[in-house]
Amino acid sequence: VVLDDGMRMAYISPAVRPALGVDPRSLFGENFSVLVDDTSHLRLAESIETITSGHNDELTRELQLIDTSGSLKWFEVHIADRRGDPDIGGIAINARDISERRSADEALRQNEARFKALVQHSSDLVAVLDEVGRFIYVSPSSQTLLGVDSEELIGQPAIDYIAPEQRNTVTIRIVSELEGKGVPQHMELHAVSIDGHPLILDATITDLSHDPAVGGVVINARDITVSHKLESDLRFAAYHD
């Protein structure tokens, strides 16, 4: 689209028909704002003012436009001052439909918010380890289980919180059974809190290092220390009654 000095559309490309379902001939002489949703009017006006006042020669904004059915679509709108170009002679606007990208971004944001809410309020420990076994993500429950704030754990070797007698076993099992498979494996971990308190964790370990959204080995662990002790006491009582 090219706008004249009165911000009226002096040229409209045929691409407006598939994009918004509008006959480009019907838009000739109309103000560009007729294509813009009310929520984006102020952003458009400010952008045009920035261009025409000489503060910027060009800029890009994301605006909502309206198609013939009344539906709103997100467009990345590039606005450039081409009034000095004899072949254009106006404000040039190029718009690209980004509705699908915006929808995907919003869905991702909602999923991340949902995951964050679930993890933050869960008593289970969720952690992600990098290729050398250091924490790159730890859920807030680490404070309750290990006595360490989750942010303080970032970059620390996870093996430091495993009981010394189990460290080799855990390392070998993760490397030999999980690398590249992405198949969840269950394991009973003997952990140690920051103050040396022993813990028994029922853990699920999954290698998702190949997944760019995760990029590491995921550990979901539930504290079963109390129940494990109770079962041991019951077994002992059964054979020593």
Residue 7, pLDDT above cutoff 80: yes
- Which region among 70-79, 152-161, 177-186, 212-221 has the lowest average model confidence (pLDDT)? 177-186
Find residue 183's DSSP bridge partners: none
Residue 71, pLDDT above cutoff 90: yes
| pLDDT tier, 62 (very low <50, low <70, confident <90, very high otherwise) | very high
Residue 16: CB partners within 8 Å, gap ≥ 6? 1, 22, 24, 27
Distance, in Å, from the CA atom of 130 to the CA atom of 146, rounded to the nearest integer, reads 19
Closest CA to 78 of 65, 99, 93, 66: 93
Length of the chain measured in residues:
241
Q: From the centroid of its chain, how far is CA 67?
A: 29
pLDDT of residue 159: 93
Residue 178, pLDDT above cutoff 70: no
Per residue in 42-54, pLDDT (tens digit) is 999 999 999 999 8
pLDDT of residue 208: 85
Residue 231: CB partners within 8 Å, gap ≥ 6? none
User: 């994009």: which residue's tokens?
Assistant: 19
End-to-end CA distance of the chain: 90
Summary mean pLDDT of the chain: 88
pLDDT of residue 227: 78
- Residue 135's Cβ-count burial label (10 Å; 0-12, 13-18, 19+) is buried
Question: Is pLDDT larger for residue 46 or for residue 239?
Answer: 46
pLDDT of residue 181: 62
- Kindly state the average pLDDT of the residues 23-35: 94
pLDDT of residue 40: 94
Per residue in 86-116, pLDDT (tens digit) is 999 999 999 999 999 998 888 888 877 777 7
Long-range contacts from 62-67, C-beta under 8 angstroms, 24+ separation: 62/98, 62/102, 63/36, 63/37, 63/95, 64/36, 64/37, 64/39, 64/40, 65/20, 65/35, 65/36, 65/37, 65/40, 65/95, 66/20, 66/35, 66/36, 66/37, 67/19, 67/20, 67/21, 67/22
